[in-house]
Every structure is written in structure tokens, then in C-alpha cells.
Amino acid sequence: MSKIDKMSILGVRSFGIEDKDKQVIAFFSPLTVLVGPNGAGKTDAHETDVRAQIKLLFTDVNGEKVSIQRSMSCTQKAKNNTFKTTMKVSLSSKCGELDREMISSLGVSKPVLNNVIFCHQEESNWPLSEGKALKDKFDSIFAATKYIKALETMRQLRLKQSVTVKECQVELRYLKDNKEKAQQIRETVAKKEAQLMASKDSIQHIDGQIEPLENRLIEIDTKLGKVLRLDNDIRLLESRKKQMEQDNKELLETMEQVFQGSDQELQDVYQNHQRTVKDKERRLADCQKELERAGRECQRLNRVKADLLVEQGRLQLEADRQMQCIKTRDTQVRSLSSYLEMEGYDRSPFTALQLESFHRHVTQRLEQEKETFSQAMADLQEKEQQKQQSIDEMRDKKTGLERTVELKRDMQGKKQQELRSIRADLQRLEGSSTRLQELDNELTKAEHDLQSAVQSSNVEELKVEVEELQKEKSELDRTQRQLDQEMQTLNVHTTARTQMEMLKKDKLDKEEQIRKIKSRHNEDLVTLLGHFPNKRELEDWLYSKSKEINGTRDRLAKLNKDLASNEQNKSHTAAELRKKEQQLTSDEEKFFNVCGSQDLEQDLGKLQEDLEKASKQRAMLAGATAVYTQFISQLTEEREPCCPVCQRTFPSESDLQDVINDMQSKLRLVPDKLKNTEQDLKRKERKRDEMMALRPVRQSIVQVQEKELPELRNRLQTVNRDIERLKADVEKQETLLSRLMSEEDTAKSCLQDISLMDRYMMDLREVERKIAQQAAKLHGVDLNRTIQQVSQEKQETQHKLDTISSKMDLKRNLIQSQQDQIQMLKSEVNERKAEKLQLSSDMQKQQQLEEQCVEFTTEIQALTRDIREAKEQLAPLTAALEKLQQEKQSLMELKKQKQEEGREKVEHHSFVNPVSVCTRVSLTLNTIDGLSQKESELQETTTQLHEAEKQKEKINKEMGNIRQDIDTQKVQERLLQDNLTLRKREEELREVVAKHEALLKDIGNMQVLQLRQERRDVERKLEDLKKNRSIALGRQKGFEDEILHHRKELREDQYDKAEERYKNKMITMRTTELVINDLNLYYKALDQTIMKFHSMKMDEINKIIRDLWRSTYRGQDIEYVEIRSDVDENASAGVKRRVYNYRVVMVKGDTALDMRGRCSAGQKVLASLIIRLALAETFCLNCGILALDEPTTNLDRENIESLALALVDIIKSRSRQRNFQLLIITHDEDFVELLGRSSYIEHFYRIRKNQDQNSEIAKCSISSLSEQP
């Protein structure tokens, strides 16, 4: 059971918001009491829906500790306060999960938690609330709603399943018909497939006869084709011969001269001529090369000439620039000599000697600077190289040490790997002695098994049996061959017999089909026609029946038309009647709303009298204003006023003033009264107008009631009588039409089969004629032994052969199995022996492995030591290397600095360059003298170019002569080629003539006429066989079409998987019926269980209430109270729904009265408290917590004492429960003292406010109550 352990409160109402103000309550068991004056914050200590922070530690139903926390915040703004939780939304999934978790952890439902265990003082009297609220709370406590919904769901599901069963029954009727029809079609397909197989066998036999004839025809066609090819070759050769003769003739006509010598002489002449032509062509090529050389020489001389012209122009330009350079040089020399403090260079122009001297002095100064700079850079470079050499040596040494460490690590790893391998071998060899013993045992066992297998083997006997079976098989093979010969002999008459058998089968099929059709439709057709008709009789009957149906349909259409007209008339009349009734009701309502009665004239008269009175009243009030005003003025203006009505004087001034005041007050009331009177007058006038307007409405009401409504009702009754008569006639005609159409449909459904039967009868007569023809063909043939008999014997012999072969295979497999087993056992023995030898060898190596282990261990230790020493040497080397690299870097920076300084000095002395340029300019003045030399060279080049062009022209002339000679030789060469061609064609013509004569000889040896005659005979035989085959194929096509038709029909939706659908639907219906039965059982069981649970709980609750009331209540007017649950069974829609209505009654003797509204405040509080205690006793099995907030409210002292004693008794009876907790919140310290007299409470919590007006919780001893004065 769950219980609460501890709770902390911070910032709730009057509780402080600082951490020091946090109040903690540790709950006692079985009783915890919180005492304090009103407003101290007692109720806050058990409310959870508060503002600030509350933490609660409790024990759930599983005995585990659970802690929850609720945090809130309230922000003070300018005009109002804003409250929010610390979460971003007011209700999140976390809040919902927390509520569910609390309900699950406490082990009670939410209604019990809110209405029984923790119930606020303001809601503690809910058991005596009004009926609907009380019913909702009890239904939620009993959880009745969800059980009622469960019953309704089961009922709806049952109804739905019942509808499914009805649908399944309807579908099953159609599915059964489809299943039977599909089975019938399958039988027809099987029969047609058998006929198709027989037809295929016949075609196969014909194909066997056709194949050799076709092969012979192919041979003949091959020979005739060869003859045709020879004939074509002869014709081609003749044509070629004529063409060749024609070509030779044409060639002779074009030739100017025919060579008279031999072929060899002609060939020699032709070759000599070709050599001459080649020499000419070679000379032509040489001339071409010389021409190209001459051309290149001309081009070269042209380029030289152009270069000389360009050089001549350049030298002329240089001469012009020379004078400008000399001027610039002199200026620079003067400036530079002044900068370098050199004397003798103040005046220009300068001689060449002066310039040379100046250049020499400047160059010396520049060389001196460069030499100084080079020496400094050489020193720095040498130091840098020394540092680099030291760094390289240090780096090499470090690299060597690192490489040594790496190599030794690799060696160490390899040694360790080998050591692990050796240790693994040693570990494996530790159990080798045991394994060796095991191997001895296994080897002994394997040898024993091998010996047993050899002894139990019967391989030789099996081999003898196999030989005997082989002999028997040879005998059966011989028998089989004899049967094959007999079958071949019988196949001579296969075609005729097959046709005879097929025709007989076809006859039986036709007769069976006719019989089935007659048996299927005999009853229906005899009933309809009186006899079994043929197709013509049935068609005539259908024609007459169709005419009768059409007539009936016409009569029915006329009746339906009349019925529709009357129905429409009825609808129109009924609509008009409803319209009149609605109009009457509307007019009566309008009339009643205005008049209030049915007597319009009387009401109108009364209203007219009221109008007259109101008019008089308005006139009087309208005149009263003037009268009262005149009276007041007279009384105030005259010296001795008197009464304006009676003319009497007033005894005193006060009386006069009273009269004036009275008139003024009445005058002030006149406008309001006048306004009210006018409004009343207008309202009555409007009502009079409305009533005057109702006079036509009254007349309309009288007209409708007395005349129109009775006429419409009479018309409606007449139309209804006509409709009933027409419906009866329509039903009669529809019945007749249904019967006629049923008979017509029955006859039409038979018509197709009758037509098919007529066709079957015609086919039957044709088959009988063919059977007679085949019987005539087979007359005199002895067919006592049929092919089927021989085939049956062959099958039996083949079956015996298969059986013997199976036995032989079985024996051979058994022999092989035994041999394999013996071989396997031998292999196992050998493996064990080999393993034993290997193990013995390994054990001999154990000492060697142990030595290797010690050796590797020593080497690994040495390598580890070397690696450690190398690492120790690496550290100082690394530091020294870094130091050297830093020194080198410093030298490089110094070198860079020196280089920069030297570069600046060299640039500063770069004045030497322009001087040297000017010096060069002065030294090139001799180029002006070379200008005349270039002109002479140009003249010489022009002369050479002229000579080269003459040589080129000479070569061109020689090449023209050579080309002309070559053309002449080509003509002679063509003549020689024509003579060679003529000699070659004549040789080919002789070869063609010889081949033509050989082909004529070959074609004469072939018997062409005999081959063609044989081909005609073979074609005639083939045509007859193919004709028979076509007939058989046509029959086979018919069978295939019928099979395809039936199979297509089977693939239709109604027949495809018809049996499976029928079975599935039947299963569905049966299982659904079982489901319905189960739902009925479950519905009744759950309904009875709910009734029993409710009755049992109510009895238990009322017993507890009765006991608690009698032990608590001290009055004599009520013996006990109890909760009555009245059952309200509403049978709407045929469904009984049980609804409980709850009320609390008080009983005295045999009289029971509802407590609500009949009891005092104290009785109300006590009854509600006792009912909560009873509900907690009944429904809080997993939660022993109950909180009572101000239970003594409105109770007198006697009942307070009895309540305390009753609570003590409850605590006493429940104290045995470890998790029982009763929380009492009260301000009545006397009540607490009464509770403290028991042994179940030693301490209580007192809640009061401190000096900061913050609530504080203090734990006090129960004895402190008695000590207070």
C-alpha cells in the first residue's frame, strides 16, 4: 500500500518565500493532526493546486520512494498580478504524465483521490448534493461509464457480425453454384484433353511418315539444285566466252600494230621500254632538284639583298644618333668626376685617352668595393658551411640513434612475437602427455571399429546379388526389344485404328452430351411445352411467349402510369391539405396572439371603449396644464387670493402656500402622465388596427375549417382508394409478368443447349458415316492383339526393369557405403597415428623450446636496455642540434644584412654603367666608315642574283624537253600493254572453252528426268499425308479451342478459385457465428459481473455507513443512513441500458427519507464524513491515506465526542495495516485532545503565524494541550 512520508511548503499563501521559511511536515502513522486557528494555513498544507513550490515524498504501491515537486510563480505588475508555472505552457505532456504517474503510484483512481481521500472542506458535503452531480461522482468512483461503453461496444460488434453472417449466407448460395459449375467445366476439360492427346498421337504418326519423304525430297532438290547450278555455270561460261571474243575484236580494232614475235620477245621489248622511261623520269627528277636549288639560291640572295638594305638604313640611323650620345656622354662624365672628386674632366669634348682613363679609374673603385664585399660574404659563407656541417653531423648522429632505436624495437617486437609463439607451444605441450594417452585410447578404439566394420561387411555377397540382378535385367531387355518389334508391326494399322477409336469416342461423347442436355432440361421443357422440343419448336414457343410478355408489359406500364398519376394527385392533394392546415394554424396563432380569444368583435368593442377613455384622459391632461398654470398665477399675483374653484378665501398664508405647492406638484406630474397616456393611446390604436386587419383572416379561418379542409380530405380518401386498387392490379400484373419472364428465361437458358444438341445430332450422324467408312477399310484385318495390350506389357516390363535397376542401385550404394565406411575408419586410424607421431616429436622438442625461450628472454632484455641507453643519448643531441640551428639562423640573418649593404653600395656606384655605355658609343664611331662597304656588298649581291636566275631558266627548258620525250614513250608503252592484254585474253578464252566442255560432260552423267519424276511422286505422297495431317490438326484445333474456351471460362471471376472462395466464405461464416456466440457469452457475463460488483460494493458501503452512524450519531431521530441506488432501465431502441440514480436516505423504523434538504447542517457534515470513510474503506485497498478537513464543522459537542471515539475505533481497526494514514486538519483543540486520549497520537503539528505574518509549522506533544489553561 502507498503512503505519504514528508512534504515541504514554500511561498504558498501565507507561507514565506525564502529558503529559511520553508516548512516541512513528516507524516505519522496511523494519525497525523494539524491544528491552528482559521487563516493560519492549515488547509494549504494538504492542497496541491497552490501557488509557489510544494515538494512531496511518498511511498507508492510497490513500496518504492517517490518524490514530486510543483513550482509556480506570481509576478506583480502595475495593475494586476500574473501567475504562471515555471513551464512554458500551462499544461504540457509532462504535467499529464505526472498526473497519471501519481494515480498509478498511489494505487487509486482519480475520482477516488479527488472525492474521497483528498476532499476540500468546501466540497466535503458532496454526498448530499443534487442528483445529477451526485450520480456523476458515484459513476466516476464505480467506473461505471467505461463498463457501460464496453457493453455497448460488444453489442454493436455483435450486431455487425450478425449482418456479416447474413451476407455470408447469401454469398454462399451463389458461391456453391459457381463451385459446382466450375467442377463440371473441369471434367469437360479433362475429357477434351484426353481426346486432344489421341489427336496429337495421330499427328505424330503422320509426322513420322512425312519426315523420310521430306528428307528424300531434300536430297532430290539438292541434286536438281546442283544440276541447275551446272546449267547456270554453262550459261555463264557461254556468255563470258562471247563477251571475251567481242572484247578481243574491239581491242584489235583499236590497236595500230600487232606484235608478231613470241610472248617472251614482247615481254623483253616491254621491259626495255620501261627502263628507258624510268631513266628519263630519273633525269627529270634531277633537273627538278637542280631547279629547286637554283630557286633556293635566288631566295637566299634576295634575303641577303634585303638584309643589306636594312643594315644600310640602320647604319645611317646610328650615325645620326651618335652625335646626341656624345653630348650626353660628356655631361655624365663631368657630373660623375665631380661626384668622385676627380680632376682634369671639367671641359668637353673629351679625347678617347681621357675617356679611357676615366673609365679605368671608375672601374677600379667599383672593383675595390666588390672585392671588399665578396671577402666579407666569403667569410660568412664559410662560417655558415661550418655550422651546417656541424648540424649535418649532429643530425646524422641523431638519425643513427633513432634508426638504432627503431631497429631494436622491431627486433624486440619480433623476438617477443617468437617468444609468445614458443610459450604457446610450451603451454600446448604441457598437456601433451595427457593428449598422448587420449590418442592411444582413440587409436585403439578406431582400430577396433575398423576391425568390426571389416568383419560385418558383406560386400562380396552384395556383388553376387548385383550380378544376378544384372542377368535378370538382360532378360527383361530382350523381352522389351521383342515387344518393340511387335509394336512396330502393329503400327502399320495405327492410323486407321486410331481414327476408328477417335470416331467411336467422338460418337460416345456426342451421345453423352445429348443425354446430358436432355436430362438437364427435360423436366423444364416438358413442363412448359408438354414434350421435349427441337430448336424450331422452342423458337416458335419463345416467339409467342415474347408477344404475351410484351402485352403484359404494356398493361403494366399503363397501370403504373395511372398509379403514378394518382400518386402525384395524392401528393398534390396532401401537400395542399398540409398547406391549408399550416395556414389555418398560422392564422389561428396570429389571431390568438392579437386577440387572446376567438371572439373578435367583442374584443374589438372593448378595445374601442378603452380608446375613448384614453382620448378623454389625454384631453383632460392637455387642458390641465393651462388650468393649473392660470390658477397658480391668480393665487400668486392677487393681493387677496381666493380659491379659483369655490371662490373662498384662505384662512392663513400657510394654507394658501399649501394649495400653491399642491398645484405645482400636480403640474409637474402632468407632462409625464400626458406622455404615458399618449403612448397607451397609440398602443391601443395599433392593436385596434391589427384587429381590424384580422377580420379577413377570421373569414379565411372559417372558410378553411368549414369548406376547404373537408373537401381536401374527401379528395384524399378517394385518391387513396384508387391507389390501393391500382396497386393490387399492378401487383397482379407484375406476378403474371414475373411468371411469364421466368418461363421465358428458363426456355432461353435451354435454347443454347437445344441448339448445341441439334449440332451434336448432326455431328453424330456424320461420325456414324465415317465409322462405317473406317470399318470398311479395316475389313479382314486381324486385330485381336491391340496396341494398348502391347503397350501395357511394355509398361509392365519397363516397371520390372525400373524395379531391378532400383535394386541394383540400392545394392551398389550399400556396397559403396560399406567401402566408404571402411575407408573412413582407415583414414581415422591413420590420422590418429600421424597425430601421435607428431605429438611425440613435439614432446622431444620441448627442451629445445625451453632453451629458446630463455635465450629470447635474455635478448629482449638486452634490446630493452640498448633502447633505453639510446634514448638517453638522444636527449642531449636534440638540445645541441637545436642550439646549432639557432646559431646558423643568426649567421644567415647577418649574411642577409651584409648582402643588403653591399647591394646598396653597388647600386650607389652604378654610375659606371652609363659611362661605359657612352664609352661604347664613342668606340663604335668606326661603323660610319662601314656604310660604304655595305653599298659595295649590295652591288655584288645583285650581280649574283642575276646569274642564279639565268641558271634557273636553263633548267626549266631542259625539263620541258624531257617531259616531251616521256609523253612519246608513254604512247609506245600503251601499245605494248595492249599487245600483252590481247595475249592474256586469248589464253583466258581457251581456259573458258575447256571448262565449258567439262561442265557439259558432267551434266550429261546426271539422270535429270528420273530425278524430276521421282520428285513429283514424293510431292504427291507428301501432299496426301499433309492433307490428312491438316484434317487431324483441324480436329486438334477444335479440341484446343474448346479447352481454351472452358479454361477461359474457368478463369472468369465467378469460377476462378470458386471452391477456395466457397471454403473461405464458409469458414468466415462459421467463425463469425462462433464470435457472435462468444460475444453473447461475454456480454452476459460482463453485465452480470457489473451488476454483482455494484450490488456487492453498495452492500459493503452501506454496512460500513450503518455501523459508523450508529457508533457516532448520538441523536434518536435517525437510526442510520444509507446510499440508495435506483435502477433506471431505459428500453429505447430495443436495448436495455442499466442506469443507476443515487441518493442518500435517512431511516427511522420502516420510513426512509431523502436527507438532502431535510437534515440539519451537523447531520449533513456527519453523514458526508461517514460516507467518505465508508468509500475509503471500500475503494482504497492499495492506499491507506484519508484526509479530513475540519470534520467538526457544524457538529455539537456530543457528536464531536462521538466522532472522535469513532475515529479512534477506525484507527484501532486499521492500525494493523502498515501504511494506514489518517490526516485530520482542525482548529478544535478539544477535538484533538479527545483524539489524544488514545494511544495512537503522541504529537501533532501546530500551524501559526510568526511576527512576519508568515505561517510556521511546529511539532508539539499531545500533552501540551492539557497543560494549557
**pLDDT for 179-208, tens place per residue?**
888 888 888 888 878 878 877 888 888 888
User: Could you tell me which of 131, 126, 108, 145 has the C-alpha nearest to residue 1171?
Assistant: 126
pLDDT for 766 equals 81
Contact 1215, 32 (CB under 8 A): no
Rounded to 10 degrees, the C-alpha dihedral 985/989/991/996 comes to 150
Highest-pLDDT range among 197-211, 767-781, 823-837 = 197-211
Within its chain, how far is the Cα of 638 from the centroid?
Answer: 112
More confident residue, 499 or 808: 808
Mean pLDDT of 1264-1269: 63
User: Nine-digit cell at 891?
Assistant: 649567421
pLDDT for 494 equals 60
Rounded to 10 degrees, the C-alpha dihedral 324/325/327/328 comes to 120
pLDDT for 88 equals 34
**pLDDT for 278-322, tens place per residue?**
887 787 788 888 878 887 787 787 777 777 777 766 776 676 677
pLDDT for 900 equals 75
Highest-pLDDT range among 95-99, 591-595, 1133-1137 = 591-595
pLDDT for 521 equals 79
Lowest mean pLDDT among 393-397, 927-931, 1071-1075, 1144-1148: 927-931
pLDDT for 1098 equals 82
Pure H helices in 1113-1196: 1161-1179
CATH 1.20.120 correct for 535-769: no
User: Nine-digit cell at 715?
Assistant: 379528395
- With bands split at pLDDT 50, 70 and 90, how would you rate the model's confidence at 1250? confident
pLDDT for 413 equals 84
**pLDDT for 111-143, tens place per residue?**
877 777 787 777 777 888 887 777 777 777 777
1052-1070 burial, b for 16+ CB within 10 Å, e for fewer?
A: eeebeebbebbeebeebbe
Residue 756 has pLDDT above 70, yes or no: yes
Residue 729 has pLDDT above 70, yes or no: yes
Q: How far apart are CA 121 and CA 43, in angstroms?
A: 9
Residue 1219 has pLDDT above 80, yes or no: no
Contact 979, 210 (CB under 8 A): no
Q: To the nearest whole percent, how much of the chain has pLDDT over 90?
A: 0
pLDDT for 1231 equals 81
Q: Who's near 361: CB < 8 A, 6+ residues apart?
A: 340, 342
Task: Name the pairing type of β-strands 1120-1130 and 1137-1148.
Answer: antiparallel
According to the annotation, is 646 in a ligand binding site?
yes
pLDDT for 40 equals 61
More confident residue, 1239 or 857: 857
pLDDT for 86 equals 45
pLDDT for 89 equals 33
Contact 552, 733 (CB under 8 A): yes
Mean pLDDT of 394-420: 80
DSSP H helix total and E strand total for the chain: 23, 13
Residue 777 has pLDDT above 70, yes or no: no
Mean pLDDT of 391-408: 78
Long-range contacts of the stretch 894-901 (C-beta < 8 A, 24+)? 894/380, 895/377, 895/380, 895/381, 895/384, 898/373, 898/376, 898/377, 898/380, 899/377, 901/373
pTM: 0.35
Contact 767, 510 (CB under 8 A): yes
Residue 705 has pLDDT above 70, yes or no: yes
Mean pLDDT of 1035-1049: 80
More confident residue, 938 or 547: 547
Rounded to 10 degrees, the C-alpha dihedral 1173/1179/1183/1184 comes to 30
Q: How far apart are CA 186 and CA 1043, in angstroms?
A: 10
pLDDT for 779 equals 57
User: Could you tell me which of 398, 553, 522 has the C-alpha nearest to residue 880?
Assistant: 398
- With bands split at pLDDT 50, 70 and 90, how would you rate the model's confidence at 35? confident
Q: How many CB atoms lie within 10 A of CB 141?
A: 19
Mean pLDDT of 769-775: 73
**pLDDT for 1140-1171, tens place per residue?**
777 888 888 888 888 888 887 777 777 888 88
Residue 622 has pLDDT above 50, yes or no: yes
Burial of 586 (0-12, 13-18, 19+ CB in 10 A): exposed
Mean pLDDT of 725-732: 85
- With bands split at pLDDT 50, 70 and 90, how would you rate the model's confidence at 882? confident
523-542 burial, b for 16+ CB within 10 Å, e for fewer?
A: eebeebeeebbeeeebeebb
pLDDT for 48 equals 38
DSSP 642: B
Helix (H, G, I), strand (E, B) or coil at 533: coil
- With bands split at pLDDT 50, 70 and 90, how would you rate the model's confidence at 47? very low
More confident residue, 334 or 153: 153
Within its chain, how far is the Cα of 436 from the centroid?
Answer: 64
Q: Who's near 821: CB < 8 A, 6+ residues apart?
A: 453
User: Nine-digit cell at 158?
Assistant: 455483435
User: Nine-digit cell at 385?
Assistant: 658551411
Mean pLDDT of 580-592: 72
Residue 1106 has pLDDT above 80, yes or no: yes
**Residues pairing with 1247 in the sheet:** 1257
Residue 217 has pLDDT above 70, yes or no: yes
**pLDDT for 223-271, tens place per residue?**
777 777 777 777 777 777 787 777 777 777 777 677 777 777 777 777 7
- With bands split at pLDDT 50, 70 and 90, how would you rate the model's confidence at 37? confident
User: Nine-digit cell at 1220?
Assistant: 494506514
Contact 272, 992 (CB under 8 A): no
pLDDT for 87 equals 40
Residue 1134 has pLDDT above 50, yes or no: no
Lowest mean pLDDT among 51-55, 364-368, 862-866, 893-897: 51-55
Distances (CA, A) of 873 to 262, 388, 401, 455, 1054: 108, 21, 8, 79, 99
pLDDT for 92 equals 38
Helix (H, G, I), strand (E, B) or coil at 130: coil
Lowest mean pLDDT among 205-214, 573-582, 613-622, 791-800: 613-622
Distances (CA, A) of 951 to 239, 288, 290, 956, 1260: 62, 13, 9, 9, 150
Contact 9, 1203 (CB under 8 A): no
Mean pLDDT of 395-423: 79
> What would the DSSP string read from start to end of 729-744?
HHHHHHHHHHHHHHHH
Mean pLDDT of 78-103: 51
Residue 1132 has pLDDT above 60, yes or no: no
Cell 387670493 sits on residue: 641
- With bands split at pLDDT 50, 70 and 90, how would you rate the model's confidence at 602? low
**pLDDT for 539-570, tens place per residue?**
788 878 888 888 888 888 888 888 878 887 88
Q: How far apart are CA 1254 and CA 742, in angstroms?
A: 99
Q: Who's near 914: CB < 8 A, 6+ residues apart?
A: 332
pLDDT for 921 equals 44
Amino acid 266 reads: L
* Radius of gyration, alpha carbons of the chain: 70
Q: What are the percentages of helix, strand and coil residues in the chain, rounded to 5?
A: 80, 10, 15
According to the annotation, is 643 in a ligand binding site?
yes
User: Could you tell me which of 317, 329, 324, 360 has the C-alpha nearest to residue 920?
Assistant: 329
Q: How far apart are CA 37 and CA 528, in angstroms?
A: 107
Residue 93 has pLDDT above 50, yes or no: no
Helix (H, G, I), strand (E, B) or coil at 67: strand
Q: How far apart are CA 462 and CA 816, in angstroms?
A: 10
**Average confidence score pLDDT of the chain:** 76
More confident residue, 728 or 1136: 728
Domain boundaries, the chain: 352-425+846-890+898-910, 535-769
pLDDT for 924 equals 46
pLDDT for 599 equals 60
User: Nine-digit cell at 451?
Assistant: 576391425
- With bands split at pLDDT 50, 70 and 90, how would you rate the model's confidence at 917? very low
